[in-house]
């Protein structure tokens, strides 16, 4: 008995796509499709296509895949273009004969511009350009949305740190990924968790770190620290002396020189436990460790300022050159209810209380990896050109196609074979015709990353981070 479905690339699609090879005009011999984020005024950070290509296009399709897909389609009520898929296997070794171009990952571009394109000019298989839409689009929109949202998070954290701190070295560790349990699947954790690491280097989502390491050639893309959770805290009991034992156990086990330990504090009385930990000042100072307290439950805009003052009284602080206090030996990690809005509110509250924002780090789960959908940036992938067969003296030529719903102008799609250009003078980006002539001021920033079973222009996480954070 099999306990796990085998991967079948042909079946990573919408059912109705199987009918489309039989629907097009007879004279089409090629097709070009593009993907964009249609939202207005957003900065988009492409990420994830290289990972998707390696996972989906670098394993050849087999006759067994075709047999399974055909049997499913017939029973499912759909036609199946077996002859075309057999050509993929027999003529192309099972690899899809398409060309994929993209804006290189980590490049910040304005929304409403092309991010990636897919083209097929095999006259029998042109429909593959559209067939890939379902699988390819979700392979791009989700990680790109996470990376683009994190650009906003990173900018906010960096802005507050620049205003309130002398040392910005903690910025990459200021938003920790707690999203593994809060997402819809392990693959979501893997893809979204990897995307988070474009801007940050703290994560407890192992699938995401492994994916970033493997698909983007990094020895260790993110880091974590020993930390308790409520199971640990509550196992000691709720009484004051029992909670003191809990804190002593965490400190004696993990508080070592040069190390960081994170301790959950809100299982019972966060202020009581904070005061108890303050009474252990000498033990913490002697350890030369950094102890992070996690308050989590309740209104963080009220709880965190009070905790900062308690910790300041016990451990003291230093006034930096910006005029803000930096606590000695301790800090706070807020890991509940964090998204962009709540995080910015807390950064403001902390700075208004006179403390540098580097005293407070954040952890985010569902708000980081799950609180998004395809409409967050209005992603869409559309066919924009078809290659028409010629006859006699009439050569084959590309014909632009587009949609323009009278009921929703916002869904008008672009037409033609497209690419993205950047001005060498101003840095401005524009979507332009791939076949057109362009002034020397403009350079094409899209590159071929896949063609007929081969990958090109691979990038790595260090390069992506450098582009994204420039």
Domain limits, CATH 3.20.20.70, in the chain: 160-369
pLDDT at 393: 66
Domain limits, CATH 3.20.140.10, in the chain: 9-144+386-468
408 vs 327: CA distance, rounded Å:
54
Selection from 91, 92, 99 nearest residue 119 by Cα: 99
Model confidence pLDDT, tens digit, residues 144-163: 999 999 999 999 999 999 99
229 vs 115: CA distance, rounded Å:
41
pLDDT at 80: 97
pLDDT at 392: 65
* pLDDT under 70: residue ranges of the chain: 392-393
pLDDT at 437: 85
Residues with Cβ within 8 Å of residue 278, at least 6 apart in sequence: 310, 311, 313, 314, 315
190 vs 194: CA distance, rounded Å:
6
Look up the CATH superfamily of 160-369.
Aldolase class I (3.20.20.70)
Dig out the tokens for 279 from the structure: 């009474």
pLDDT at 432: 97
What CATH number matches the domain at 9-144+386-468, 3.90.25.10, 3.30.230.10, 3.20.140.10, 3.30.390.30? 3.20.140.10
Q: Which residues of 116-148 are buried (b: 16+ CB within 10 A; e: fewer)?
A: bbbbbbbebbbbbbbbbbebbbbbbbbbbbbbb
Model confidence pLDDT, tens digit, residues 257-311: 999 999 999 999 999 999 999 999 999 999 999 999 999 899 999 999 999 999 9
């Amino acid at each position: 008995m099999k306990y796990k479905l085998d991967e079948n690339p042909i079946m990573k699609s919408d059912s109705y796509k199987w009918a489309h090879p039989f629907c097009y005009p007879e004279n089409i011999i090629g097709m070009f499709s593009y993907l964009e984020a249609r939202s207005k005024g957003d900065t988009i950070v492409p990420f994830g296509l290289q990972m998707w290509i390696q996972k989906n296009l670098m394993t050849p399709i087999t006759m067994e895949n075709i047999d399974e897909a055909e049997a499913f389609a017939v029973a499912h009520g759909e036609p199946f273009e077996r002859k075309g898929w057999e050509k993929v296997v027999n003529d192309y070794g099972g690899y899809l004969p398409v060309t994929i171009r993209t804006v290189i990952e980590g490049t910040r571009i304005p929304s409403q511009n092309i991010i990636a394109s897919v083209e097929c000019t095999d006259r029998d298989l042109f429909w593959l350009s559209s067939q890939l839409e379902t699988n390819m689009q979700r392979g791009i929109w989700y990680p790109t949305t996470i990376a683009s949202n994190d650009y906003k998070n990173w900018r906010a954290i960096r802005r507050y740190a620049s205003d309130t701190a002398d040392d910005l070295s903690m910025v990459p560790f200021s938003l920790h990924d707690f999203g593994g349990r809060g997402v819809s699947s392990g693959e979501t954790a893997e893809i979204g968790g990897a995307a988070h690491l474009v801007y940050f280097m703290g994560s407890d989502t192992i699938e995401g770190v492994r994916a970033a390491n493997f698909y983007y050639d990094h020895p260790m893309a993110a880091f974590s620290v020993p930390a308790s959770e409520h199971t640990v805290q509550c196992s000691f009991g709720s009484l004051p002396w029992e909670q003191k034992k809990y804190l002593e156990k965490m400190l004696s086990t993990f508080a070592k020189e040069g190390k960081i330990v994170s301790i959950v504090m809100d299982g019972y009385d966060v202020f009581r436990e904070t005061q108890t930990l303050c009474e252990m000042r000498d033990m913490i100072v002697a350890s030369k460790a950094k102890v992070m307290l996690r308050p989590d439950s309740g209104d963080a805009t009220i709880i965190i300022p009070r905790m900062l003052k308690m910790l300041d009284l016990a451990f003291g602080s230093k006034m930096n050159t910006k005029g803000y206090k930096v606590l000695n030996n301790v800090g706070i990690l807020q890991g509940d209810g964090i998204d962009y809005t709540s995080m910015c509110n807390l950064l403001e509250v902390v700075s208004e209380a006179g403390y540098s924002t580097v005293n407070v780090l954040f952890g985010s789960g569902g708000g980081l990896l799950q609180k998004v959908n395809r409409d967050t940036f209005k992603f869409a992938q559309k066919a924009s050109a078809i290659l028409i067969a010629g006859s006699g003296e009439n050569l084959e030529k590309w014909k632009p196609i587009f949609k323009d719903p009278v009921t929703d102008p916002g869904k008008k799609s672009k037409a033609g074979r497209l690419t993205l250009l950047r001005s060498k003078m101003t840095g401005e980006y524009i979507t332009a015709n791939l076949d057109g002539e362009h002034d020397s001021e403009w350079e094409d920033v899209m590159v071929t990353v896949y063609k007929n079973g081969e990958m090109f222009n691979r990038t790595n996480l260090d390069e992506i981070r450098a582009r994204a954070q420039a």
